């Protein structure tokens, strides 16, 4: 997982409320077994309109999406996070998120920022012409016009995002402690090693 410390650039002033995961990535895209290319299906229905924001010259490839209340509601499909990442979006700002979507986004390295509606309205205005910057370390969203909006984030999620640690990375970071435990367990319970050997022989 890529580390996230600062996300800066044009933000897509989407603003729509109650956008569910079927809007983010239609069900027909769930048959794929790879994350690559999922961006082609992101917001597919909306992007069928040639004047859609996502493919416009001003916002295509923007790393930030500004959305409305309850973003990511609906089914629990992790593909929604994959699709956003493949589309180039690494941060979403909204007044609220579905809990399941927020968890999936975090596990895939997408920063979700919760701000009050007044801040969202201001960012929607700025995004029409200028970039937005999210600083995870200081937990602020800023604009070139001296706007500064602080946000809260769970300390564990912040640590993982700053250091690019997904569940595999967290496990690997404890490799030394895991090996120490396994060695001590084998010494205290030598029959475990014999059982492991028998299982290995059967598998071969």
Residues 82 and 183 in one domain: no
- Report if residue 131 sits inside a domain: yes
- Residue 187 pLDDT level (bands cut at 50, 70, 90): confident
Residues 143 and 181 both lie in one domain = no
Does residue 89 belong to any structural domain of this protein? Answer: yes
- Same domain, yes or no: 14 and 94: yes
Would 166 be classed as within a structural domain? no
Q: Based on the fold, state whether residues 179 and 140 are members of the same structural domain.
A: no
CA distance 155 to 185: 33
* pTM, full prediction: 0.84
> Is residue 114, in this structure, part of any structural domain at all?
yes
Q: Are residues 134 and 51 part of one domain?
A: yes
* 133 and 197 co-located in one domain: no
Summarised one tens digit per residue, pLDDT across range 99-108 is 999 999 999 9
- 117 part of a folded domain: yes
User: Is the pLDDT confidence value at 62 over 60?
Assistant: yes
Domain membership of residue 163 (yes or no) is no
Number of domains in the chain: 2
Q: What is the pLDDT of residues 71-108, one digit of tens each?
A: 999 999 999 999 999 999 999 999 999 999 999 999 99
User: What is the arithmetic mean of pLDDT over 127-155?
Assistant: 98
Residue 158 counted as domain residue: no
Angle between helices 191-203 and 175-188 (to 10 degrees): 110
Compute the average pLDDT of residues 142-146: 97
Q: Are residues 70 and 105 in the same domain?
A: yes
Burial code of 89-104, b = ≥16 C-beta within 10 A, e = fewer? bbbbbbbbbbebbbbb
Domain that holds residue 54: 6-152
Q: Is the pLDDT of residue 59 over 70?
A: yes
Q: What is the CATH number of the domain that holds 22?
A: 3.20.19.10
Do residue 96 and residue 12 come from a single domain? yes
In a domain, 165, yes or no: no
């Amino acid at each position: 997982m890529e580390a996230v410390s600062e996300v800066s650039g044009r933000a897509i002033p989407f603003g729509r409320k109650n956008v569910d995961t079927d809007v983010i990535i239609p069900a027909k895209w769930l048959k794929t077994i790879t994350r690559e290319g999922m961006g082609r299906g992101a917001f597919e229905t909306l992007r069928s309109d040639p004047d859609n924001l996502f493919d416009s010259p001003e916002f295509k490839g923007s790393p930030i999406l500004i959305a409305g209340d309850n973003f990511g509601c609906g089914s629990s499909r992790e593909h929604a996070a994959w699709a956003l990442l493949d589309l180039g979006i690494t941060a979403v700002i909204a007044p609220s998120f579905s809990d399941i979507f927020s968890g999936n986004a975090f596990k895939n390295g997408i920063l979700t920022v919760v701000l009050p509606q007044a801040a969202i309205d201001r960012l929607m205005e700025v995004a029409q012409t200028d970039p937005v910057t999210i600083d995870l370390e200081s937990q602020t969203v800023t604009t070139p016009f001296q706007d500064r909006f602080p946000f809260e984030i769970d300390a564990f999620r912040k640590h993982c995002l700053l250091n690019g640690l997904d569940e595999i990375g967290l496990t690997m970071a404890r490799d030394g402690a895991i090996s120490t435990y396994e060695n001590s367990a084998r010494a205290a319970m030598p029959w475990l090693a014999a059982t492991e050997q028998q299982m290995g022989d059967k598998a071969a």
